[in-house]
Structure 1
Amino acid sequence: MTGPQPCHGAAKVAARDQLLTARRRRSLTDVGAAARAIADHLLAAPEVRRAATVAAYVSVGTEPGTTSLLDRLVDAGKRVVLPVLLPDNDLDWAAYHGPTSLAPARRGLLEPVGAPLGLDAVATADVVLVPGLAVSREGMRLGRGGGSYDRALARVPVGTFTCVLLYDDEVLPDVPAEPHDRPVSAAATPGGVLRFR
């Protein structure tokens, strides 16, 4: 199958519940090992090595961890921008300058405290790293359902390296998708970087 598959919202809800349950069962040791492996793979990827600006995010809970990745990107001389969740679930962006540049925000998130760069700042990134719960082999990403990253990805120029960070077993043959869902060009897992197109 290719492209978005028609679905009812119930299929997405069921898939999200299943994936979140599986994530909650992961040990902190597994989460930490996955974070290190994903960071190693991404920092070795030619798209990331060439990038001047990387749009990323601060992981929460049992998401594949990004804390070390963010600092390693900064240490490698990359400009890192992180999302700031707006009341309408859209994403503004601000620069990351290390852990002390983050503050607690709504929904248990950590966000950068610097000056907002605007909704379109994501379009200036050479690499866009996004969260997700799963991805299909064609690059259709299943997120948490707020639509924030689908809106952000709609602003990213075609050809930009867009990559979802996942565990190996979250790359699936298919995921429920709708026409507004935006595909990504790759997935980074502990097993490596999988490019879709």
Structure 2
Amino acid sequence: MSDKAALRRHLLDTRRRLTPEQRLSASLALADHALALPELASAETVAAYLSVGAEPGTRALVHSLHARGVRVLLPVLLADNDLDWAPYAGPEHLVPAGRGLLEPDGERLGPNAVTAADAVLLPGLAVDGHGMRLGRGGGSYDRVLARLTASGASPALVVLLYANEVVARVPVEPHDHPVQAVVTPDGVRRFGA
């Protein structure tokens, strides 16, 4: 088993052991810390995502950003694991999309819509002291990050995690990109350029 696979398995097992109460408490604290980020406070457009399963909860954060008047883009998973984007218009405009995912029922904006975001909130399983993020391994967000680089866009990249998922070292590959900050229920940690 690779280092990435072993770390993923360990972190996913730890997430599954969290109680519903622990998850709810973590999601509310995560939203409070994220909403205080200057990168989100000044953002006109934020590419976000709706958490599923035991992921750190993002629904309160997404709803709060939308209530502030921020244009929130949510991913729409394509058949090849790439991501299209659609604007969030409230919880009543979300539809089941398979794999436990919810997606907006509105207009699809295309995979390049993410390049207009001022900030991109990234799911992940871990981040290390250099800001290197470990994802789930599907490659969807690797494509997003490559698309941002290719377009010359430079939004704030923020990963949302549980506190124990900030680790000493994440195995990296040449296509991996660092993030500028991690938000956990315990607070915010920033990484150098």
The interval holding the TM-score normalised by the smaller chain is over 0.9
Deviation, 1:158, is 5.4
Counterpart in 2 of 1:26? Answer: 18
- 1:145 and 2:146 aligned: no
Counting matched residue pairs gives 189
Kept in 1, the 8 Å contact 2:116–2:153? The answer is no
Q: Secondary structure at the match of 1:88?
A: coil
> TM-score if structure 2 supplies the norm length?
0.94
Deviation, 1:195, is 1.1
Deviation, 1:51, is 0.2
Structure 1 stretches of 4+ moved >3 Å: none
Matches within 5 A, 1:68-107: 68-107=60-99
Counterpart in 2 of 1:179? Answer: 174
| Distance in 1 (alpha carbons) for counterparts of 2:20 and 2:125 | 18
Q: Secondary structure at the match of 1:129?
A: strand
- 1:131 and 2:123 aligned: yes
Counterpart of 2:182, as a letter, is A
| Distance in 2 (alpha carbons) for counterparts of 1:107 and 1:64 | 17
Counterpart of 2:14, as a letter, is A
Counterpart of 1:34, as a letter, is A
Counterpart in 2 of 1:46? Answer: 38
Q: Which has the higher contact order (CA 8 A, sep 6+)?
A: 1
Q: 1:66 to 1:44 in 2, by over 3 A?
A: same
Q: Give the share of equivalent positions with the same residue, in percent.
A: 58
| Distance in 1 (alpha carbons) for counterparts of 2:189 and 2:154 | 16
Q: 1:70 to 1:79 in 2, by over 3 A?
A: same
Counterpart of 1:170, as a letter, is E
Q: Which runs of 5+ in 1 are unaligned?
A: 1-8
Q: Which runs of 5+ in 2 are unaligned?
A: none
Deviation, 1:159, is 3.8
| Distance in 2 (alpha carbons) for counterparts of 1:99 and 1:165 | 21
Q: Secondary structure at the match of 1:71?
A: helix
> TM-score if structure 1 supplies the norm length?
0.93
CA RMSD of the aligned region, Å?
A: 1.1
Counterpart in 1 of 2:163? Answer: 168
Matches within 5 A, 1:185-196: 185-196=180-191
Deviation, 1:118, is 0.8
